[in-house]
Amino acid sequence: MVQHFFYPETIAIVGATADPKKFGNAVTVNLVNNESLKSELFPINPKSDEILGLKSYSSVLDVPKDIDLAIILVPSKAVPIVVDQCIEKKVKRIIIVSAGFGEIDEEGKKIQEEMAKKATTAGVRIIGPNCVGIMNIDIGMNASFVITPPQGNVSMATQSGSFGAACLYEMEWQGIGFSKFANLGNMTDINLTDLIQYFKDDKATQVVCIYLENVVDGRKFYEILKEITQVKPTIILKGGRTSAGAKAASSHTGSIATDYGSLKAAIKQAGATLCESMNDYVTAIKAFSYSPLPAGNRVGLFTNSGGSAVLFSDYLDEYGLELAEFSAEFKEKINPFVIPLVKKVNPLDMIAGARGEEFYQVAKAMFEDPNIDIVIPCVVIPTFLEMQPDEHFKGVIRAWNHTGRKKPILPIFMSGKLMEPIKKIAAEENAPIFMSPKEAAFAAKVLIDRMKKFQK
Amino acid sequence: MSSEIKIILDNILAEGRHILTYAESRTIMKLAGLPLNKMSFAKNLDECVTKANEIGYPVVLKIISKDVIHKSDSGGVKLGISSDGELRTVYNEMLTSVKNHYPSAEIEGFSIEEMVEGVELLIGTNTDDQFGKMIALGIGGIFVEIYKDVTFRLIPISEKDVRDMIEEIQGKKVLDGYRGLPKVDLLELCNFVINISKIIEENKVIKEMDLNPVVATKEGLKAIDARIILG
């Protein structure tokens, strides 16, 4: 049912325009200018013969081929006519980006419900209206007006288009890649439960994330969420938590946010990762996107910055982490790679002069040590002793690669704009970076929580 | 057991009532195999004394009257009575005080209850518009509305769910035997909560159930108040 939205062979862009001043332009450009997209595109605009080098048609009915997906960008008044034409044309799936329906008033709600009824009766399914659109980065399709993120294993469902975009931008900036993205808008037909059920079965999706304001059928949502968490980590950020938030959510997507208490309970009971802030949300997604699950909660922390390790240790209790005890064998193993001044205790403060090669050796020893479940290198990029800004990161990732990426690595790198070269390597190596001790501690917590879920 | 519960609840609904009396709530609890503190009903002072001796001091004396809405505020509840003499004094004071607050109240009698001490918990259920039957577990007692240290789950629940709920209680440390209070038997608590979950599953007509407090005593859990609402 949802699959067809994400894998169309032919796409009609209704309201396509080359004029950057028009709203439909961003969606048109995102689709047309993506060279990896193999689907055939048909711009629909009665006022043009050609749009961005493609032949334009005055109506979907004029397109000489069958259409799998129609994206509707025209003003709300014209939408019902276009939907009728799509039904006549036997278009398989429709995305209505246009706003001005159930989120505005009862009349708008009636119109969107009528469209949905006509369409579903004819076997046509609708996403929207009032949404930013969808993406399938695996096939190079960006049918939205959000920028195209890199390809990856995360799929996101979001009830807020703009906040979903904000998360996507933040994730892109932090190096997290996407498989699929969808904003469902007013959910007149396809709802959140339908979408996440698809994510559950979609092979390319390995991590599911949801920005949630309300659910339509709580019990059904809970049952499906429970199934998904059995096979894929699922991270949820819930908006509309306080009554003030609930009010904002209501005027926002046209529905009342359900009571946070019961929804929160359902999310936890279903085994999903519940996040309270955008920062936690992105951190948890990053953790699951890059890391295998740990075997336990014992972390091995090594650093060139004692203070940062202290900050990390502050979160041990709150997040249920444990510092691994270094065995005599381990101490022996790392002895050649630390200066005599270094106390061989966890966290291991290797002191500011420690180099990339030493970080490689210690990381490797930790990956090989049966008493350590999660490896956390913590680095303030040195600007002295002729060290390269990226040598520590390169070292620890090399150790991760050499030991088969079997344990989670949560590298903390804190250096403002010196991060740029590190981010580049992280993208090339398909490895994560965490920006603060708290982030890495939270990442460890969510991985451990999920590990515990499968323990008995 | 479950069929008997069903019959009682159906009868109450047939009478057009939705709120169970204290006695009815206790009967439901008993049928469900949920532990309660010892309690007897007495009509007058002599009966009170006899029953108190049967239960064993210290006891709690409560007035029973459907006209007395706020029992505690009107002096209708007295805890920790330790002798026949004290009981006689308290009895007379209670009657006077309640009559002052509710001059026309019809007094049906008194309940004499075993005084129990330990960690006070809240176990309850409600019916949510979105998720249906839910169960709550948290720190109980008179401050429950202030601290709101209560977690929720959807019914039916598993033992793992109850263990997660316990982990989520902010004040969970008091369950470990804080300052000489008895340590809460977590397995017993799990079974108690699962039992409630089952009763609600079998009797969907129960809209809300409020057991506050359930006291974790040295001998185990004992519910000392029960409020059941149908809907």
From chain B, the residues in CB contact with A262 under 8 A are: 128, 130-131, 134, 152, 154
Query: What is the per-residue pLDDT for A37?
Result: 96
Lowest mean pLDDT among A320-329, B22-31, B48-57: B22-31
The alpha carbon of A446 is separated from its chain's Cα centroid by a whole number of angstroms, namely 15
Q: What is the DSSP string of A116-167?
A: HHHHHHTT-EEE-SS--EEEEGGGTEEEESSPPPPEEEEEEEES-HHHHHHH
**pTM exceeds 0.90, yes or no:** no
Chain A nearest-CA distance from B221, in A, is: 25
Best residue in B129, B131, B135 to probe A by mutation, most A CBs within 10 Å?
B131
Rounded CA-CA distance A115/A188 in Å is 9
From chain A, the residues in CB contact with B160 under 8 A are: 456
pLDDT in tens, B113-156: 999 989 999 999 988 888 899 999 999 887 777 778 888 999 99
User: What's the whole-number average pLDDT of chain B?
Assistant: 91
Regarding beta strands B227-230 and B206-217, do their DSSP bridges make them parallel or antiparallel, or are they unpaired? antiparallel
Inspect the interface and report whether the beta carbons of A218 and B131 lie closer than 8 Å.
yes
Chain A nearest-CA distance from B152, in A, is: 6
The alpha carbon of B125 is separated from its chain's Cα centroid by a whole number of angstroms, namely 13
Inspect the interface and report whether the beta carbons of B130 and A259 lie closer than 8 Å.
yes
From chain A, the residues in CB contact with B168 under 8 A are: 268
Contacts by A427-431, CB closer than 8 A, 24 or more apart: A427/A150, A427/A175, A429/A397, A429/A401, A430/A290, A431/A290, A431/A397, A431/A400
Is A317 touching B (CB cutoff 8 A)? no
Give ∠ CA B80-B116-B173 in degrees, rounded to 5.
120
Query: What is the per-residue pLDDT for A306?
Result: 87
CB within 8 Å of A341: residues ≥ 6 apart: A351
Number of CB atoms found within 10 A of residue A386's CB: 6
pLDDT in tens, B72-111: 788 999 999 999 999 999 999 999 999 999 999 899 899 9
Q: Is the preceding omega at residue A75 within 30 degrees of 0, hence cis?
A: no
pLDDT in tens, B160-181: 999 999 999 999 998 988 888 8
Query: What is the per-residue pLDDT for A261?
Result: 76
Is B7 touching A (CB cutoff 8 A)? no
Q: How many residues does chain B have?
A: 231
Phi, psi of A406 (to 5 degrees): -85, -25
pLDDT tens per residue, chain A (456 residues)?
899 999 999 999 999 999 999 888 999 999 999 999 999 999 999 999 999 999 999 999 999 999 999 999 999 999 999 999 999 999 999 999 999 999 999 999 999 999 999 999 999 999 999 999 999 999 999 999 999 999 999 999 998 888 899 999 999 989 899 999 999 999 999 999 999 999 999 999 999 999 988 787 899 999 999 999 999 999 999 876 544 444 443 323 223 223 457 888 999 999 999 998 999 999 999 999 999 999 999 999 999 988 889 999 999 999 999 999 999 999 999 999 999 999 999 999 999 889 999 999 999 999 999 999 999 999 998 888 888 889 999 999 999 999 999 999 999 999 888 888 999 999 999 999 999 999 999 999 999 999 999 986
Which of A293, A184, A191, A183 is CA-nearest to residue A232?
A: A293
At B1, is the pLDDT very low, low, confident or very high (cuts 50, 70, 90)?
Answer: low
At B196, is the pLDDT very low, low, confident or very high (cuts 50, 70, 90)?
Answer: very high
Is A218 touching B (CB cutoff 8 A)? yes
Higher-pLDDT residue of A329 and B2 is A329
Inspect the interface and report whether the beta carbons of B130 and A262 lie closer than 8 Å.
yes
Rounded CA-CA distance A96/A5 in Å is 12
CB within 8 Å of A4: residues ≥ 6 apart: A68, A69, A92, A93, A125
Inspect the interface and report whether the beta carbons of A265 and B151 lie closer than 8 Å.
yes
| Residue A231, both tokens | 């096979």
Query: What is the per-residue pLDDT for B191?
Result: 96
Rounded CA-CA distance A115/A189 in Å is 9
Rounded CA-CA distance A456/A191 in Å is 33
- When CB atoms are compared, the residue of B128, B157, B161 closest to A262 is B128
Inspect the interface and report whether the beta carbons of B154 and A259 lie closer than 8 Å.
no
Rounded CA-CA distance A159/A239 in Å is 9
Contacts by A160-168, CB closer than 8 A, 24 or more apart: A160/A211, A160/A213, A160/A239, A160/A252, A160/A253, A161/A130, A161/A131, A161/A132, A161/A185, A162/A132, A163/A211, A163/A239, A164/A132, A164/A211, A165/A132, A166/A278, A167/A209, A167/A211, A167/A237, A167/A278, A167/A281, A167/A282
From chain B, the residues in CB contact with A268 under 8 A are: 153, 164, 168
Inspect the interface and report whether the beta carbons of B131 and A268 lie closer than 8 Å.
no
Inspect the interface and report whether the beta carbons of A218 and B132 lie closer than 8 Å.
yes
Which of B189, B176, B69 is CA-nearest to residue B137?
A: B189
Host H or E run for residue A375:
strand A374-379
Residue B82 gets the label, from left (phi > 0), alpha (psi -120 to 50) or beta, of alpha
- When CB atoms are compared, the residue of B131, B151, B160 closest to A222 is B131
CB within 8 Å of B135: residues ≥ 6 apart: B123, B124, B125, B152, B153, B154, B155, B157, B193, B196, B197, B200
Rounded CA-CA distance A412/A380 in Å is 8
Q: In chain A, what's the furthest Cα-to-Cα distance?
A: 80
- When CB atoms are compared, the residue of B128, B131, B164 closest to A268 is B164
Rounded CA-CA distance A415/A422 in Å is 10
Q: Is the preceding omega at residue A432 within 30 degrees of 0, hence cis?
A: no
Q: How many residues does chain A have?
A: 456
Is A266 touching B (CB cutoff 8 A)? yes
Rounded CA-CA distance B122/B150 in Å is 8
Rounded CA-CA distance A272/A224 in Å is 11
Host H or E run for residue B228:
strand B227-230
Rounded CA-CA distance A297/B2 in Å is 44
Query: What is the per-residue pLDDT for A456?
Result: 63
Contact indicator for A259, A238 with CB cutoff of 8 Å: no
3-state secondary structure of B84: helix
Is A267 touching B (CB cutoff 8 A)? no
Chain A nearest-CA distance from B129, in A, is: 9
Is B157 touching A (CB cutoff 8 A)? yes
DSSP state of B19: B
CB within 8 Å of A209: residues ≥ 6 apart: A154, A155, A156, A157, A167, A234, A235, A236, A237, A281, A285
Is B136 touching A (CB cutoff 8 A)? no
Contact indicator for A132, A167 with CB cutoff of 8 Å: no
Quickly tell me which residue has 């009032």 as its tokens. Answer: A130
- When CB atoms are compared, the residue of A218, A269, A456 closest to B130 is A218
